[in-house]
Amino acid sequence: MLALDGVSKRFPSTRSGGGRPALDGVSIDLREGEILGVLGQSGSGKSTLARLIVGLEAPTGGSITRTPPTTKAGTGPAAITVQLVFQEPYDSFDPRMKLRTSLEAPLLQYRHITAEERSERIRDVVQEVELDPALLDRYPGQCSGGQLQRLTIARALLLKPEVLICDEASSALDALTQRKILDLLLRLHQDRGLSLVMISHDLDVIRYMSHRVAVLYQGALVELAPTGDFFANPRHEHSKQLVAAAVPLHPGPSSGRDSETNRPQPSAMLNRADTLATS
């Protein structure tokens, strides 16, 4: 669905302009219906990768292609829609605006969507992320971090994306709220057939969510492997350090999610993970 071919990004500023690029020749693909985990320390280029994928910034080298999924061939749009879920839920909405106004904004550019359709779509996505539509009449300051994170996901869903990029989307939340957000994303992945790119420095998040793991180190892709293989046998020196530094919550995991409980339709999820991991 998404293919990055030798993608580089060099910023002109002094921060990285004189030295190494923020991203350096990254080649990676996202398969239809896949959850791809992107792991890397702070400054490794994860957010730069996210902004390039959604088109907020242009690469300085290489190319990015967005191919529509096969199921929509002939009938669907010429390119897929990719939406970004931002890191900080409190920074994602204008504090002076009611949430309804913030959610309406991305739809206003589409003339053919009537006001009625707009409010209908907004109500639908808000319910899809398991929130009460009454929340839309509040200001961001009157909501919890978890509620705002759900609303950032709802806003991303408004434009019916095929791919959602979640850049540290749950890292600002407490553990239980974070877990609920991850399970919501897993459910959306299943219900909508949404492909996800989960960006995180948190190995547990990556292990819980991903079919494959990509490791960024100083802007370069140093490892790309099925999640089970990655945690059992990380190959690159930096990956070994990352895995060794993690607290072993589940000794000897053979798959990313096999010892987790309470997630939506576990057997279906696992089947899918296994299929993708071994293909």
Site residues for Mg ion per CB under 5 A: 46-47
Nearest to 150 by CA among 184, 123, 174: 184
Task: Choose, by CB under 6 A, the member of 13, 75, 261, 279 that binds ligand ADP.
Answer: 13
For CA atoms 145, 107, 166, 269, the dihedral sign is positive
The residues that bridge with 253 in the sheet, in sequence order, are none
Nearer to Mg ion, 47 or 170 (CB): 47
Query: Which pair of tokens denotes residue 118?
Result: 């707009």
Nearer to ligand ADP, 39 or 148 (CB): 39
- Count, residues near ligand ADP per rule CB under 6 A: 13
CB 197 within 8 A of CB 36: yes
Nearer to ligand ADP, 42 or 109 (CB): 42
43 binds, among ligand ADP, Mg ion, none (CB under 5 to 8 A by kind): ligand ADP
* Per-residue mark of binding to ligand ADP, 43-62 (x: CB under 6 A): xxxxxx--------------
Task: Choose, by CB under 6 A, the member of 4, 34, 39, 40 that binds ligand ADP.
Answer: 40
33: which residues sit within 8 A by CB, 6+ positions away?
189, 193, 195, 272, 276
Is 234 a binder of ligand ADP (CB under 6 A)?
no
Query: Which one of 35-43, 99-107, 222-230, 271-279 is the stretch in contact with ligand ADP (CB under 6 A)?
Result: 35-43
Task: Choose, by CB under 6 A, the member of 22, 198, 209, 242 that binds ligand ADP.
Answer: 22
> What DSSP string runs through 146-201?
HHHHHHHHHHHHTT--SEEEEESTTTTS-HHHHHHHHHHHHHHHHHH--EEEEEES
- Closest CB 165 distance from ligand ADP, rounded Å: 12
Burial of 112 (C-beta count, 10 Å sphere; 0-12/13-18/19+): exposed
Nearest to 197 by CA among 62, 78, 66, 6: 66
138: which residues sit within 8 A by CB, 6+ positions away?
98, 99
44 binds, among Mg ion, ligand ADP, none (CB under 5 to 8 A by kind): ligand ADP
Report how far apart the first and last C-alpha atoms of the chain are (Å, whole number).
16
Query: Which one of 14-22, 29-37, 78-86, 97-105 is the stretch in contact with ligand ADP (CB under 6 A)?
Result: 14-22
102 binds, among ligand ADP, Mg ion, none (CB under 5 to 8 A by kind): none
- Closest CB 58 distance from ligand ADP, rounded Å: 13
13 binds, among ligand ADP, Mg ion, none (CB under 5 to 8 A by kind): ligand ADP
258: which residues sit within 8 A by CB, 6+ positions away?
270
The residue ranges that bind ligand ADP (CB under 6 A) are: 11, 13, 15-16, 22, 40, 42-48
